[in-house]
Amino acid sequence: MIPRVLIVGAGLTGATTALLLQRELQQRVSIAIWETARGSGGRMNTNRSNSNPKASADLGAQYISCSPAYATLHAEFYDELLTNDILKPCSLTIEGLKEQEPGTKHYIAPSGINRIVKFYLQQSGVTVDHNRNLNTIDVEVHNDVESILAGYKSSDKKTPYDVVLLTQPVPKLFQLEGGIHSILTKNSDVLKKLQDVEYSSRYALGLYYPPGTKIDVEWTGKYTYDDPCIRWICIDDKKREQESNENGPTVVVHTSVPFGLKHLEDNKEGVQQLILQHLSTLLPNLPDPIEVKCQRWRYSQVYKGIEGSPGCLKLMESKSVLLLMAGDAFVHSNYDGCIESAKTSSQAIINFLKSNGKI
């Protein structure tokens, strides 16, 4: 019987893990991906205007910064994205950018940052089940053979898997029901590491304007450090190819982490108005948008990750099943961190399947 693998989360780590497994195992494994949201990408989020779906704004990751070390270590990944026009070198002006390691290169995604995740999913050939929120993890024993049972909301059905990889933010692990809690309790060292993980929080706004609107600034992106609310402003359509001429300009605003934490549980509409007030002070000549999208990033970036950056952690392993968790909390919060986590996770899964005679 072909072993069954479930990947929870269709963000960068989940999509890359699926791709690496398919490339290595060549259809010798059945892979499913569950995603809570209605679309793939996770924090590599590209939002579309309700009135004009061709107008877009990156509300999550803004660009990719690649250090010289990762340029070598992940050369095949960067080469593939550049060859397929998913990424291109950033030649745009970014003000207030903090000093980087010498040789660091920046890249933008001209079709939207979530195109990276969608490309990896397409290359993997794995279909994502969207709007499927993992609710329960249990372990079943039948004829001395264990299976991991995964269940989701709106259904009582639980599906058995040989391997389950969790890539959602770590705090969501503790919200699951079922036997997962006894599994974690039995592995106190792992539990303590997971409990120590911390995330920053922030808000992001996407502002949409009609074609012909002029936004008169000399930069594409700008970091601000004096305003208590806003940390980043980007004329996002400048990262696209002629999008402002055809679909109107778009502006992205990210708040500071202290502001995000302070207003995390506030009414989102009220927070949106507060952010717009600060924006009008920083850019008094900015026109009024025809549409505004507000994104609350409860788990924006990892503030305190897993010690030692292991790439992934095994929550349970036997001869029959493997349950593990991965993502940026297990390396660091950027593109290369998620790629490293996916490489570590896929290798752990392959080793488990081979050593137990499942492939």
Q: What is the pLDDT of residues 227-255, one digit of tens each?
A: 999 999 999 999 986 554 678 999 999 99
Core vs surface per residue 175-196: b (16+ CB within 10 A) or e: ebebbbeebbeebeebbebbee
pLDDT at 1 (0 to 100): 85
Asked if 5 contacts 28 with a C-beta cutoff of 8 angstroms, the reply is no
pLDDT at 155 (0 to 100): 60
pLDDT at 96 (0 to 100): 96
What is 48-112+201-304's CATH number?
3.90.660.10
Asked if 327 contacts 15 with a C-beta cutoff of 8 angstroms, the reply is no
Query: How far is the C-alpha of 207 from the C-alpha of 326, rounded, in Å?
Result: 33
The low-confidence residues of the chain, meaning pLDDT below 50, are: 244
Q: What is the pLDDT of residues 211-227, one digit of tens each?
A: 989 999 999 999 999 99
Predicted TM-score (pTM) of this structure: 0.95
Check if 4-38+130-197+305-355 and 48-112+201-304 are the same fold.
no
Residue with tokens 């290359």: 123
pLDDT at 154 (0 to 100): 56
Order of all β-strands in the sheet with 312-317: 128-129, 30-34, 4-8, 163-166, 322-326, 312-317
The β-bridge partners of 148 are 139, 161
**Token pair recorded at residue 75:** 């050369």
pLDDT at 280 (0 to 100): 97
The β-bridge partners of 5 are 31, 163
Each domain of the chain, given as residue ranges in start order, spans 4-38+130-197+305-355, 48-112+201-304
pLDDT at 61 (0 to 100): 97
Give the CATH H-level superfamily of domain 4-38+130-197+305-355: FAD/NAD(P)-binding domain (3.50.50.60)
